[in-house]
Structure 1
């Protein structure tokens, strides 16, 4: 009877699926849009964005004495640098592998991938919370729907696309939304991903998503293209006997498993390269480039009027 061993490619593909399920913030941003870092100077690539131009109108049935107006096509670009080497490495002794580990995927691989997912989400969180926003809106708890509409209006004024808008909130803002009973629940897919579990519903054209990585009163409205996440799987070393790299829907990961004979233990290493950046555009009113595809909300809780004593 032939043995049935899993190939490393299968295990890595499974790990990649686990990673996608565990990510919340990273699934809300523009993830790895076809970046090729091979040979890139300083590990940085510049991505060309679609050009913009203007349309003109030629007078109907004119005498053709005037020439048409030629318009310029203006392209823009954004750069992103791979500068994070995120990994999880664990050692498994002979005793643990023989007596304690009955399901490698559940007991070893999933905790490792979850740790990597948390690190990636934290990187996206730091990108969002540390960005400089062109617009900040005050959102009072007792009038928060009006505040959310003001955030929507700010995006509309900058011609930000309607599709894919997200309102990312902390715990206290989440409570205000849930208590308001103004959120419209949306039917979800059959996915059991962490993002689905974190999605509260819709309000004012936003998918409302909660994250405990944010401060309790933090809130941000944006579209995915406001923030950029690039990932790449490290190369598989030629000396690794059991290893693979895989990519799927903007995510890349490498998994290596080898044996340390000097200490009689296995080593499992999950790793990923990552880079982050903010998308800046010229505001509708003109001037220097700013972050206009996202709006920061300043949440003001309603004072507690409970009498003392």
Structure 2
């Protein structure tokens, strides 16, 4: 029985299926999709507006205190284009879909998926919550501390994931292997090194989690000036002219406590802040540090119990200039990943575009008469954004 010539639509669908199976971080967060980018002649820009939940304050007493509803949103820029370029012929397309997938699409989509996933994983640097366990193996107690942080920040129970780097997965599977009574679960651990679901998380393993190397942390850093608020913090006491902080570093400030997200009562737990950009001390040891979350001391958006005092001590997590592993516990709404339809070119040998579970891919093939080849390109246009970092927690181990 002769093989049937594979259509561009079939090829695109199969490529998306393979890509989708390999994106376990992107596959476990919020995915947005926008078809307006593909309209011929449209000028839609490159930004999606993602609406964030409204917040309010509670009135005390019988006197009306009406408050405006202020809609907030986050800009998700869809402007990164990645793809894989191949050469294949019409003869290649006479293979069965399974053969074509194994020989051509599987290796191509693997490297594309890894690149996209690694890009999206850089969002860990925007997460301010961290359970620090540097220099030690991952433990279930630390996972539970991460779970507590998510619960305290009102992360919904459904849709939580604990995505582990490979060493953390080894440590946790070994530590927990005796706690599962179900024979199938035990055998799955030994076969796949994957724990499944426990403690309210779907546990996954990913080889692409990067390590994080803090700055030098040199000096005795202090808050420089009382009453500060907003998205930056003026500090001093660093060793002059040193690369003291790196983007993604976590720190706390003495007597600046996190508040309950609804009642705004102090939790008695120090608020953690994340550094928004690499920061070096000037010749006098001063740094104005970009931070998240912003220091907000009142109102519906309140984040802390009060402004830091002048000369309040700053403590930076982790060992100075020493890399440590990163795993991430999160609710799916903490992050968003978006793809958009790309415009279909005209006058080519074949072209197709398909969407699978919020991921849009385009394939275009053209005949190269000079070299008697059929160059083919597979493209994804995407972007990602940290929407609600309070619903995620980094696990820093080893």
Does structure 1 residue 15 correspond to structure 2 residue 15?
A: yes
Aligned counterparts of 1:45 and 1:101: Cα–Cα separation in 2: 40
Whether the 8 Å contact between 1:198 and 1:211 is mirrored in structure 2 is no
Aligned counterparts of 2:342 and 2:182: Cα–Cα separation in 1: 38
Aligned counterparts of 1:198 and 1:278: Cα–Cα separation in 2: 29
Unaligned runs of 5+ in 1: 59-65, 189-196, 281-290, 301-309
CA pair 298-245 structure 1, distance change in 2 beyond 3 A: same
Instruction: Identify the residue that residue 128 of structure 2 maps to in structure 1.
Output: 134
Does structure 1 residue 153 correspond to structure 2 residue 144?
A: no
Whether the 8 Å contact between 1:257 and 1:269 is mirrored in structure 2 is yes
Instruction: Identify the residue that residue 396 of structure 2 maps to in structure 1.
Output: 298
Aligned counterparts of 1:119 and 1:91: Cα–Cα separation in 2: 21
What SS does the aligned partner of 1:85 have?
A: strand
CA pair 51-91 structure 1, distance change in 2 beyond 3 A: same
What is the TM-score with the length of structure 1 in the denominator?
Answer: 0.74
- Give the deviation of 1:13 after TM superposition: 2.0
CA pair 259-104 structure 1, distance change in 2 beyond 3 A: farther
CA pair 36-153 structure 1, distance change in 2 beyond 3 A: farther
Instruction: Please point out which of 168, 172, 176 is paired with 2:171.
Output: 176
Whether the 8 Å contact between 2:162 and 2:202 is mirrored in structure 1 is yes
Instruction: Identify the residue that residue 241 of structure 1 maps to in structure 2.
Output: 349
**RMSD over equivalenced CA pairs, Å:** 3.4
CA pair 35-171 structure 1, distance change in 2 beyond 3 A: same
Instruction: Identify the residue that residue 27 of structure 1 maps to in structure 2.
Output: 27
Unaligned runs of 5+ in 2: 185-191, 212-324
Give matches, 1:1-309, under 5 Å.
4-32=4-32, 36-37=36-37, 39-41=43-45, 43-53=46-56, 70=66, 72-92=68-88, 97=91, 103-128=99-124, 131-139=125-133, 144-181=139-176, 199-215=194-210, 217-280=325-388, 291-300=389-398
Aligned counterparts of 2:340 and 2:138: Cα–Cα separation in 1: 43
Count of paired positions? 269
Higher helix proportion: 1
What SS does the aligned partner of 2:367 have?
A: strand
Q: Which stretch of structure 1 is more off in the superposition, 31-40 or 215-224?
A: 31-40
